[in-house]
Every structure is written in C-alpha cells, then in structure tokens.
Amino acid sequence: MTDIQTTWLASDDLESARQRLPIVYVDCIPVRVDDRGEVTHVGLLLRGRPDGSISRAVVSGRVLYGELIRDAILRHIEKDLGPVALPEVPTSPTPFTVAEYFPDPTVTGFHDPRQHAVSLVYVVPVKGDCSPSQNALDLAWLTPQEVVTGDVRAEMTGGQDLLVRLALAHVGQLP
C-alpha cells in the first residue's frame, strides 16, 4: 500500500490552495440493497452547516495526496457511518459520474462556496450497522420514493439532491 500524507494542509495553506486549484473529492451515496441487488434505501446524513443551517447530505470528503480512490471511499464511509458499516467498495475506481462544484451556483448546479472541487461519485452498498459520526447529527435511511420527494430534496444543498437522483437513475431505481 502506498504511504499517504496523513496530515492535511494548514488552514491558511488550504485556503490558498482552494483559491488556485480544484480539489479532488469523492461523493458516496450509501445504499441498502435487497437479495437481488436492487436499491431499497438511500442513506442521508443530517449535518450542521457553517452558516448555522442544517441539511441532508451524502458521504463526501477530500482525496488525500497519495491515497487510492478505494481507500478514500473506505475512509469517508467509516468516518461518517462508523467502523462497522461494511461498505462494498466498487471493484473499479471508475465513478458513475463526476460532479464539478463551483463557488458560483449557476455554473453547474453543484455549489461549494469555498472552492472549485471535482468529485468522483459512487453508489456504495453498505451491509453493516451504521450510525452517524464525526459532524453528522443523524442518519436516515429513505426509500427511493421518499428520497426524491420535494420535502427531502429541499433539505439538501449544493446540488446533492441532483446527485441522489442521478444515482437512483444509474441503478434503475429513479421513481
């Protein structure tokens, strides 16, 4: 396994990098599947945002320097859903889509006020016991029908409602 830099940039250095470079992320849509492999539920975290608001979100985070994509997926799933989530990491590091986040929400519909970020997006089945951790306040498992309702979509920010809809379409479960 390749050694990765275990520390991230200092706050000032990170801010400087965010002003000059796109930052690489992974977005993971955790799902529960039945015995036939069909998605039955989508996991959404409830998080407090820096502005004091609360929103629903998928698992997301930066890829560290020298880190394999699979390792970034595992690290973020474990960080957000707990150490016994038992994710099924994709056999291929090819994402089902790529999301480009911009400080200007009108560019792509994916918005991150801090930076330009390029995110590789994956649907990740999880089989174990999940519980919100780190900065998450709650974890809700919603059916595909529930997750696309206007009320739930209104709770998501930055275009993540679109990511969930794209994920459901990708797995043939968009109601």
Per-residue pLDDT at 1 = 43
Rounded percentage of the chain residues whose pLDDT exceeds 90: 75
Contact between 163 and 99 under an 8 Å Cβ cutoff? The reply is: yes
Please check the confidence at residue 122 and state whether its pLDDT lies above 60.
Answer: yes
Per-residue pLDDT at 67 = 94
**Mean pLDDT across the chain:** 91
Distances (CA, A) of 20 to 25, 27, 60, 158: 16, 22, 21, 21
Please check the confidence at residue 38 and state whether its pLDDT lies above 90.
Answer: yes
Q: What does pTM read for this prediction?
A: 0.89
Per-residue pLDDT at 164 = 97
Task: Encode pLDDT of 60-119 as tens digits.
Answer: 999 998 999 999 999 999 999 999 999 999 888 899 999 999 999 999 999 999 899 999
Q: Domain ranges in the chain? A: 18-170
- Give ∠ CA 63-48-39 in degrees, rounded to 5: 65
Confidence category of residue 7, pLDDT binned at 50, 70, 90: low
Q: Which amino acid is at 134?
A: Q
Q: Which positions ≥6 away from 96 have C-beta within 8 Å?
A: 121, 122, 123, 166, 167, 170
d(CA 10, CA 24): 17
Please check the confidence at residue 171 and state whether its pLDDT lies above 90.
Answer: yes
Average confidence (pLDDT) over 13-27:
83
Average confidence (pLDDT) over 138-149:
97
* CATH (one of 3.40.50.300, 2.170.130.10, 3.40.50.11720, 3.90.79.10) for 18-170: 3.90.79.10
Confidence category of residue 157, pLDDT binned at 50, 70, 90: very high
Secondary-structure percent of the chain, ordered helix, strand, coil, rounded to 5: 25, 30, 45
